[in-house]
Structure 1
Amino acid sequence: MEWIADPQIWASLVTLTVMEIVLGIDNIVFISVLVSRLPASSADSARRIGLSLALVLRILLLLVISWIIGLTAPLFTVFGEAFSWRDMILLAGGAFLLFKGTLEIHSGIEGEEDEHGAQPKHPAFWSVIVQILLIDLVFSVDSIVTAVGMAEHVEVMIAAVVISIGIMFVASGPVAAFIKEHPTTKMLALSFLLLIGVALIADGLGFHIPRAYIYFAMAFSALVEVLNIMRHRKRKAMHVENQN
């Protein structure tokens, strides 16, 4: 256990934790969008279960690192481009995000009321959990493959994952509540899912899009949306004040 006193180990832990938190932004957005459609009584439970599943999946994958490394080995070649199991998982995950994001945007714009004007039904709790589990698997594989190249000790990787999931657990509640309270931010979050889906498909096809570009676009769009919300609240407050 002498490696615990090694400053390089602690440096790698901090670096890896930050990386896991950044990569976890995608997961938070997806989970927040899904639980926003659930009743308030079960939304928090779904969010907790989803993040707990992400933690369990990542720790299990870290315990089978040799298998994870094998996922990056070429599986077959198409038109001179080699594809691995990791590529296939990223392609499937990206396609799922594109499908889910498009479906949710359509439902949000067109509405889900039936011909009798009945209110839309909430999705089944466990169907949401299954969707979270599937996308957790995609993000976990991508995250762990990156972690394997940044740290040598499994203990360090597990500690980084636990810390990052803990921070995501704390942050996901306010994010989910904010998205549910402001419908326009949900539409923005869905557009983020489409962007993330395209990035995953590009990675699966061998065209890596630097995540810094994606996160900058997300941060800039989120800032603009926050300014719009502040402006709307100010105008609403002025309107109420004028009425009084």
Structure 2
Amino acid sequence: MFGLEMPPLTAETWAILGTLVLLEGLLSADNALVLAVMVRHLAVNVQRKALAYGIGGAVVLRILGVLLAAFVLEYWWLRAFGALYLAYLAVSHFVKKGHSEEEAAGSARGRGFWPTVVLLNLTDLAFSVDSILAGVALIPAGMPREQGLTIVVIGGIVGLILMRFAATIFLKLLNKYPAFDNVAYALVGWIAVKLGVETLEAAHEVFPAVPTLHLPTPLFWGVMAAIAIIGSFIATRRPAMSEAEAEARAEAIVHRMDETVADAADGRVDGR
């Protein structure tokens, strides 16, 4: 079930991988930002310990998410749930009030150590499902499952790498231009449309009474490009802070996570 096969490196494959890098970068940075905020209410001597569990949970859940993708690719009705979930994420992002950092801090405030750890891992789960389902949705309908799963695995690995090595770049981007979050979720919403259309096509093969639609590949990627270009133009018009402030804030978060990983490596996750 978990066989992998390298897909042909066509223009569409590169476009898929490029989109995954962008989404994984933004979502991973958003994840890191939220995790850092959610432990602020804890005592200083246990903040790193909670954050270490959160980072560990992100790694484990990402691996489990890749395994789950094999089942999503196999059954059309799971793809239907995936399409609905991605659509819900996009819609809820644009209709909710308040900033994600403020919501994260508010949801964690007043909780003890272990309830905070549980909340951190539930947050990790949401981000892992987001990125994995986006990877599944980007796979062309006619691509063999083994090749599609390979793309999802690559996306999962990219997400883990970006969460550490490119975190400063994407955190700086989100700090200076918070509206880039909107670009990411607008892309997720359009990807949900693609997955929904393909789900209807698959369901039509099993139940002919189900209405079917078709989304031409050039149209899908044309809209993706339009969202990225127009969204980036709008997002960069009003920076929320200066270049120096955005970089300092990003480096502070990454430095804190580096210290957490170093502590975990030598058994001092409580910072002592």
Residue 242 of structure 2 aligns to which amino acid in structure 1? N
Structure 1: gaps spanning 5 or more residues = 73-83, 113-119, 234-244
Q: Report the equivalent of 1:31.
A: 31
Distance 1:232 1:211, change over 3 A: closer
Q: Report the equivalent of 1:92.
A: 88
Residues 147-191 of structure 1 show CA distances to partners (whole Å, capped at 9, x for unaligned) of 25363241x3333333332232222125555787x7x954744x3
Match of 1:158 among 142, 149, 153: 149
TM-score (structure 2 length as normaliser): 0.53
Q: Say whether 1:139 aligns with 2:146.
A: no
Q: Report the equivalent of 1:117.
A: none
8 A Cα contact 2:86 2:130, kept in partner: yes
Distance 1:232 1:64, change over 3 A: closer
State the distance in 2 between where 1:65 and 1:153 align.
7
Structure 2: gaps spanning 5 or more residues = 40-46, 195-214, 248-272
Q: Report the equivalent of 2:223.
A: 210
8 A Cα contact 1:36 1:176, kept in partner: no
Residues 68-110 of structure 1 show CA distances to partners (whole Å, capped at 9, x for unaligned) of x3356xxxxxxxxxxx5444212322244347772435569xx
8 A Cα contact 2:87 2:188, kept in partner: yes
Distance 1:188 1:164, change over 3 A: same
Structure of higher CA gyration radius: 1
Residues 172-225 of structure 1 show CA distances to partners (whole Å, capped at 9, x for unaligned) of 125555787x7x954744x33344345545665789793334444449857996
State the distance in 2 between where 1:144 and 1:200 align.
12
State the distance in 1 between where 2:33 and 2:118 align.
15
Match of 2:181 among 190, 193, 211: 193
State the distance in 2 between where 1:174 and 1:161 align.
20
Q: Report the equivalent of 1:80.
A: none
State the distance in 2 between where 1:192 and 1:178 align.
13
8 A Cα contact 1:23 1:143, kept in partner: no
CA RMSD of aligned residues (A): 4.6
Alignment of 1:100-179 (within 5 A): 102-104=98-100, 106=102, 124-149=116-141, 151-154=143-146, 156-174=147-165, 176=167
State the distance in 1 between where 2:98 and 2:240 align.
23
State the distance in 2 between where 1:226 and 1:103 align.
13
TM-score (structure 1 length as normaliser): 0.58
- Number of aligned residues: 203
Identity among equivalent positions (%) equals: 8
Q: In the TM superposition, what is the alpha-carbon distance from 1:129 to its structure 2 partner?
A: 1.4
Q: Which has the higher contact order (CA 8 A, sep 6+)?
A: 1
Q: In the TM superposition, what is the alpha-carbon distance from 1:57 to its structure 2 partner?
A: 1.4
Q: Which segment is superposed worse, 140-149 or 206-215?
A: 206-215
Q: In the TM superposition, what is the alpha-carbon distance from 1:136 to its structure 2 partner?
A: 2.5
Q: Report the equivalent of 2:65.
A: 57
Residues 125-152 of structure 1 show CA distances to partners (whole Å, capped at 9, x for unaligned) of 2212112212422332232132253632
